[in-house]
Amino acid sequence: MRRSSSNSDEEEEDVIRPLPLPRKRKKRQRGMHVMSRHQKELLIRLIFAFVTLYGFLATGLLLRLPTGEWDGEDMALLLDEEQQQQQPPPDNPRLRTRLVQHQPQERVPASTSSSSRSSTSRDKDPHDDNPHQQPPLPKQDENQNTFPVTISKTDTGNDLEEIDHPVLAYGGILPDDLAQTMVVPKFWNPSRYGGNVREYLGNHGKQLPSKETALSIGSKIPLPTKDGEQQQLDTIFVSIASYRDPECLHTLESIYARAQYPQRIRTVVVDQRRDDDTYSCLPTDCDDNSTNNPNALCQYRHLLELYDFDARLAVGPTFARHVAYRHYRGEYFAMQIDSHVRFVQDFDTDIIQQLKSANNEMAVLSTYLLDLNGAIDPVTHASKRNNSRALLCNVYFENGVVHNGQQAARPSHIVGTPTLHPFWAAGFSFARGHFLVTVPYDPYLPMVFQGEEISMAVRGFTYGYDFYAPERSVCFHMYALHKNRANRLAVPRFTENRKLYRHVTEEDVAVAAMTRLRGIIGMTTNSIVERDNHNALEQESYGVGQVRSPAQFYKTFGIHVDSQTMENHLCWFAGESMQNKFVPFLRKDGMGIDYDKLNYEFKDPAPDQP
pLDDT in tens, 451-478: 899 999 999 999 999 999 999 999 999 9
Cβ proximity of 436 and 327 under 8 Å: no
Could you write out the DSSP letters of every residue in 565-579? EE-S-HHHHTTHHHH
Give domain 160-385+412-547's CATH superfamily: Spore Coat Polysaccharide Biosynthesis Protein SpsA; Chain A (3.90.550.10)
| Three-state secondary-structure class, residue 309 | strand
More confident of the two residues 73 and 136: 136
The pLDDT value recorded for residue 85 is 37
Cβ proximity of 429 and 237 under 8 Å: no
More confident of the two residues 149 and 103: 149
Q: Whole-angstrom Cα distance, residue 302 to residue 330?
A: 17
Reported as half-sphere exposure (CB side, CA atoms, 13 A), residue 441 has a value of 26
Per-residue pLDDT band at 39 (split at 50, 70, 90): low
- pLDDT of 319 higher than 90: yes
The pLDDT value recorded for residue 155 is 67
The pLDDT value recorded for residue 533 is 61
Report which listed range, 120-134, 177-191, 407-421, is most confident. Answer: 177-191
Cβ proximity of 475 and 351 under 8 Å: no
- pLDDT of 416 higher than 90: yes
- pLDDT of 193 higher than 80: yes
**Residues ≥6 apart with Cβ < 8 Å to 163:** 181, 182, 184, 443
Q: Whole-angstrom Cα distance, residue 330 to residue 436?
A: 10
Q: What angle do CA 91, 461, 398 make, to 5 degrees?
A: 155
The pLDDT value recorded for residue 379 is 96
**379 CB neighbour count, 10 Å cutoff:** 6
Report the mean per-residue pLDDT for the chain: 80
Per-residue pLDDT band at 506 (split at 50, 70, 90): confident
pLDDT in tens, 379-407: 999 999 988 889 999 999 998 999 988 77
Cβ proximity of 595 and 552 under 8 Å: yes
Q: Whole-angstrom Cα distance, residue 328 to residue 332?
A: 10
Could you write out the DSSP letters of every residue in 414-426? --SS-EE-S---S
More confident of the two residues 190 and 135: 190
Cβ proximity of 239 and 334 under 8 Å: yes
Cβ proximity of 521 and 548 under 8 Å: no
- pLDDT of 104 higher than 50: no
Please state whether the predicted TM-score (pTM) of the whole model is above 0.85: no
Beta strand 220-224 with 265-273 is unpaired
- pLDDT of 601 higher than 60: yes
What average pLDDT does this structure show over 178-191?
A: 94
Report which listed range, 56-70, 80-94, 154-168, 237-251, is most confident. Answer: 237-251
Cβ proximity of 303 and 211 under 8 Å: no
The pLDDT value recorded for residue 92 is 39
- pLDDT of 365 higher than 70: yes
**492 CB neighbour count, 10 Å cutoff:** 15
pLDDT in tens, 336-352: 999 999 999 999 999 99
Q: In percent, how much of the chain has pLDDT > 70?
A: 73
| Three-state secondary-structure class, residue 308 | strand
The pLDDT value recorded for residue 433 is 98
pLDDT in tens, 224-237: 888 878 889 999 99
**Residues ≥6 apart with Cβ < 8 Å to 175:** 312, 500, 502
Helix, strand and coil percent figures for the chain, each rounded to 5:
30, 15, 55
Q: Whole-angstrom Cα distance, residue 421 to residue 417?
A: 13
Cβ proximity of 395 and 423 under 8 Å: yes
Q: In percent, how much of the chain has pLDDT > 90?
A: 56
Pick from 437, 236, 258, 262: which is nearest to 334 by CA? 236
Per-residue pLDDT band at 290 (split at 50, 70, 90): low
The enclosing H or E element of 549 equals none
pLDDT in tens, 531-557: 556 778 898 999 999 999 999 999 999
C-alpha separations of 16 from 10, 12, 19, 265, 524 in Å? 13, 9, 9, 69, 90
Residue type, 129: D
Cα-to-chain-centroid distance, residue 125: 19
- pLDDT of 149 higher than 90: no
Q: Whole-angstrom Cα distance, residue 364 to residue 430?
A: 6
The pLDDT value recorded for residue 51 is 55
Per-residue pLDDT band at 295 (split at 50, 70, 90): confident
Q: What are phi and psi of 165, to 5 degrees?
A: -65, 140
In this structure, the chain runs to a length of 610
**Residues ≥6 apart with Cβ < 8 Å to 545:** 202, 204, 205, 206, 438, 459, 462, 463, 464
- How is residue 196 annotated by DSSP? -
